[in-house]
Amino acid sequence: MNARYRCVCFALPKKLMQHLADSAEGEHRELLQAQVHHCAKLRGSRHASAQPVARSAVKAKPTAAAKPLQRSVFSAGGQTFLPGKLLRDEDDPPTRDALADQSYDNIGVALQFFKTVFGRDSIDGRGMRVDTSVHYGFRFANAMWTGEQMIIGDGDGQNVRDLAGSLGIIAHEFAHGISQHLVKGGLGVVQVPGAPPTLKGEAGALNESFSDVMASMVKQWHAGQCVHSADWLLGEDILAPHVGKAIRSLKDPGNTKLTWKQDDQIKDYRGFKPTHDAHTASGIANHAFYQAATQLGGHSWETLGAVWYRGFDKLRARATFLDAAHATVGVAASLHGQGSATHKAVKAGWKQVNVLT
């Protein structure tokens, strides 16, 4: 795997992990603080998934007879060696491991969504098998797409739980795999020799937003929800009540009543600073999508989904919000016509967040 393409995103942003560590006491504080450091180290590690596994040789080999879904779930057994022991392969019956089966099912939904809605065959578009390791680390309170596979922790038992059972979290990480293959070099991925790769600037925020937007559509598609009945939340099902209600809201980014108390997402480009964390500035593009979707009504994935997916497919590694606006507005016009309801809604969405004026 070329290191340039590695993803560097965890489901729970560093700020939230640090907040959990700061709020905890005694041994639990130490556990969470160690996980904050572990996440930072993993971001920079080129060896996280480097353990040789004979099976990986056939990973991305597309065949005419490829199954529509290709999933393998492993157990890291509480350690950090990847992928670990194979628990369930495609078409295997359920295991007695609930987290393995939940991951298997949720990855299946994400695979089906991209196949059915966009005609995309798995993460690389060529039918690659999606590997997932559950029971990653000791009470690890996060999930991640490493650039090659998904890793999912058991949760810390106090603040974060059910990561494997959260369709939104799984779909968000899955979509990081998709954007890694859509945008050569990785959307906003900055690699400085000797330092961990990070998601930077407007492109990094667009990378995060792509995952939130796709995860929202996966959730809504799976539940058969229209834009007005959807909750537009991410991670609404993994936080203990004392931590908060969700990680992010696309409907109202930064509204701590809907999310958690230090949520600092922004939804107006005029407030953007290049130093913003990707999870903070992603609110701008998230909200543009939400605005366009609610203006159009109906099912978000039916019309707007393809506009967003194809628009982001046109972006380069250092894209700006304005590039994303122009790309999606352009796709809306070419698919549905200048002045069509979709064209107008996409424009209005980006105007609402002051990317377009």
Q: Does 110 bind Zn ion (CB under 5 A)?
A: no
- Residue number, 87 or 319, with CB nearest to Zn ion: 319
Cα–Cα distance for residue pair 97/196, rounded to 1 Å? 33
Which positions from 192 through 231 interact with Zn ion, judged by CB under 5 A? Answer: 211
Q: What angle in degrees, to the nearest 10, is found between the helix axes of 278-296 and 201-223?
A: 50
> Distance between terminal CA atoms of the chain?
41
- Residue number, 171 or 346, with CB nearest to Zn ion: 171
Cα–Cα distance for residue pair 340/351, rounded to 1 Å? 17
- Residue number, 211 or 286, with CB nearest to Zn ion: 211
Of 9-17, 87-95, 236-244, 309-317, the window that binds Zn ion (rule: CB under 5 A) is: 9-17
Q: CA–CA distance from 229 to each of 214, 221, 299, 300 (Å)?
A: 17, 12, 10, 11
279 is catalytic: yes
- Cβ neighbours of 194 (radius 10 Å): 5
Q: Least distance from C-beta 236 to Zn ion, angstroms?
A: 16
Cα–Cα distance for residue pair 247/240, rounded to 1 Å? 11
- Residue number, 211 or 352, with CB nearest to Zn ion: 211
Nearest residue (beta carbon) to Zn ion:
9
Q: Least distance from C-beta 91 to Zn ion, angstroms?
A: 30
173 is catalytic: yes
Please identify which of the residues 172, 276, 279, 287 carries the catalytic annotation.
279
Q: Which two tokens stand for residue 314?
A: 């046109």
Quote the DSSP letter at residue 57.
G
Please identify which of the residues 173, 202, 208, 236 carries the catalytic annotation.
173
Q: Least distance from C-beta 344 to Zn ion, angstroms?
A: 30
**Which residue from 9, 130, 189, 293 is in contact with Zn ion, where contact means CB under 5 A?**
9
Cβ 256 vs Cβ 262: under 8 Å:
yes
Which positions from 30 through 59 interact with Zn ion, judged by CB under 5 A? Answer: none
- Residue number, 9 or 355, with CB nearest to Zn ion: 9
Q: How many residues bind Zn ion (CB under 5 A)?
A: 2
Cα-based angle 36, 41, 42 (whole degrees, multiple of 5)? 95
Q: Least distance from C-beta 160 to Zn ion, angstroms?
A: 15
Cβ 15 vs Cβ 262: under 8 Å:
yes
CA pseudo-torsion sign 310, 312, 317, 319: positive
Q: Least distance from C-beta 11 to Zn ion, angstroms?
A: 7
Please enumerate in sequence order all residues whose Cβ is within 8 A of that of 214, keeping only pairs 6 or more positions apart, or say none.
171, 172, 174, 175, 178, 308, 309
Positions annotated as catalytic residues are 173, 279
Per CB under 5 A, residues contacting Zn ion are 9, 211
